[in-house]
Amino acid sequence: MYEFVRSEGIYLYDKNGKSYIDLISGIAVNNVGHCNPDVIAAIKNQVDKYSHQMVYGEYVVHPQIELAKTVAKYLPSNLQSFYFLNSGSEAIEGAMKLVKKYTGRSKIVAMRNAYHGSSSGSLSMMSDEYYSGSFKPLLPNIFFMDYNDLNTLDIIDEATAAVFIEPIQAEIGYLPATQEFLNALREKCNETGTLLVFDEIQTGIGRTGKLFAFEHYNVVPDILVSAKALGGGMPIGAFISSREIMKSIEDNPILGHITTFGGHPVSCAAGNAAVKYIFKKQLLDSVQEKEDLFRALLVHPKIKKISGKGLMLSIELDSFKEVERTMKRCIDRGVIIDWFLYNTNCLRISPPLIISKSEIHEVCKIVLQSLDE
Ligand code: PMP
């Protein structure tokens, strides 16, 4: 077991002062680096003013407005209404309720091998019985289709409230959706009056070189779900939609979704600073170059394939044994790397976006040495 007592930028430090490069960002959370100075200043400033005050509704929580305004500037006109929560799973739960309330339908279509969270609703959208079977009964009326498979689109029909999809499916080993598939989903949803929901909990906040991955595709969802890096290292989640859709959850019953801590002022202040930092430092501009550098440097007979997009990359090896061995050697050499829930033959690379090119050279050398050994 490892225990880190301090972190800064892309580095974590153990109690003996040994440094480790973080190649996973606490799974796609620390996009602006650990202990980012702007984020720390925002947290301190907010804590000095107030932390929890009121459960919102009649009361305005100012840092929520600020974060929503910062993010909304980069979103299309139908994604300007925010509901903040505490985590990704919670935001997915909220979105699952919203789609039912707005459409008056109960059927939901999800993708095989998706991961949307561990709460009962989000877990219901997990196709693999191995992970969900022990927790039944889960939500009924959830149907699965294969990712990137155009042949199963007919499962989406006039009874379907929504389709939930990650534009890059994370836990199967960073598998990007094809343009064709997202186009077809959008079209089918339009035809059947189904809402299209993008889970950008892992892909969002700059990880792929755009603030949200859907921007690469030019396919706009009806509901966007964000979390993880949206809080700059603090806990947060949000579902985002049009005012028209969001309004449907406000009444009948009154307060259709309630949260005590959701959109906590300190989390929102931290997130606002983090998102602003991404643009202040133009971090999105270098993501493609950094991806290219990882791909160019990570050439080794044991690497069968690299998939993913931007700074969410998956390195396919022969077996889980090889993955475990490489991970252990990397950690011994001061590089933290990880694997995937559903694809144990792959190593996960999702470093803070602030990683420099020379640091990429350094970590790739260590990964290659670890594969060699
Ligand atoms: N959706 C995706 C795509 C995720 O990667 C995760 C977290 N790994 C979640 C949902 C759930 O988020 P949380 O752990 O914050 O509940």
Is residue 305 domain-shared with residue 365, that is, in the same domain? yes
d(CA 207, CA 7): 20
What is the whole-number distance in angstroms between the Cα of residue 89 and the centre of ligand 1? 6
What is the whole-number distance in angstroms between the Cα of residue 124 and the centre of ligand 1? 14
Helix/strand number for the chain, H first, E second: 13, 17
Return the pLDDT at 262: 96
Whether 278 and 284 have beta carbons less than 8 Å apart is answered as yes
Return the pLDDT at 58: 80
**Which of 259, 280, 301 is the last residue before a domain boundary?**
280
Is residue 254 domain-shared with residue 267, that is, in the same domain? yes
d(CA 232, CA 41): 12
Is residue 94 domain-shared with residue 191, that is, in the same domain? yes
Instruction: Give the domain range for residue 310.
Output: 4-30+282-372
d(CA 340, CA 343): 5
Residue nearest to atom 14 of ligand 1 (CA): 88
Is residue 269 domain-shared with residue 298, that is, in the same domain? no
Is residue 208 domain-shared with residue 220, that is, in the same domain? yes
What are the pLDDT digits (tens) for 104-162? 999 999 999 999 999 999 999 999 999 999 999 999 999 999 999 999 999 999 999 99
Instruction: Ligand 1 pocket test: pick from 87, 89, 119, 225 the residue with the most ligand atoms within 8 Å of its Cβ.
Output: 89
Is residue 21 domain-shared with residue 56, that is, in the same domain? no
What is the whole-number distance in angstroms between the Cα of residue 342 and the centre of ligand 1? 14
Whether 10 and 359 have beta carbons less than 8 Å apart is answered as yes
Find the CATH number of the domain harbouring 324. Answer: 3.90.1150.10
What is the whole-number distance in angstroms between the Cα of residue 372 and the centre of ligand 1? 33
Find the CATH number of the domain harbouring 215. Answer: 3.40.640.10
Is residue 214 domain-shared with residue 333, that is, in the same domain? no
Q: How many domains does the chain have?
A: 2
pTM flag (> 0.95): yes
**Which of 280, 310, 341 is the last residue before a domain boundary?**
280
Angle at 123 between CA 194 and CA 135, to 5 degrees: 135
Report the nearest atom of ligand 1 relative to the CA of 227.
15
Task: List ligand 1's pocket residues with C-beta within 6 A.
Answer: 27, 87-89, 92, 115-117, 166, 170, 199, 201-202, 227
What is the whole-number distance in angstroms between the Cα of residue 227 and the centre of ligand 1? 7
Q: What is the mean pLDDT of each run of 10 residues along the chain (373 residues)?
A: 95 97 98 98 98 85 97 98 98 98 98 98 96 96 98 97 98 98 98 99 98 98 99 98 97 91 97 98 98 98 98 97 97 96 96 98 98 93
d(CA 342, CA 174): 11
Single-letter residue type at 305: K
Is residue 8 domain-shared with residue 59, that is, in the same domain? no
Is residue 22 domain-shared with residue 113, that is, in the same domain? no
**Which of 255, 280, 305 is the last residue before a domain boundary?**
280
Report the nearest atom of ligand 1 relative to the CA of 89.
16
CA distances from 96 to 56, 58, 110 (A): 21, 24, 11
The burial class, CB within 10 Å (0-12 / 13-18 / 19+), for 243 is exposed
What is the whole-number distance in angstroms between the Cα of residue 118 and the centre of ligand 1? 8
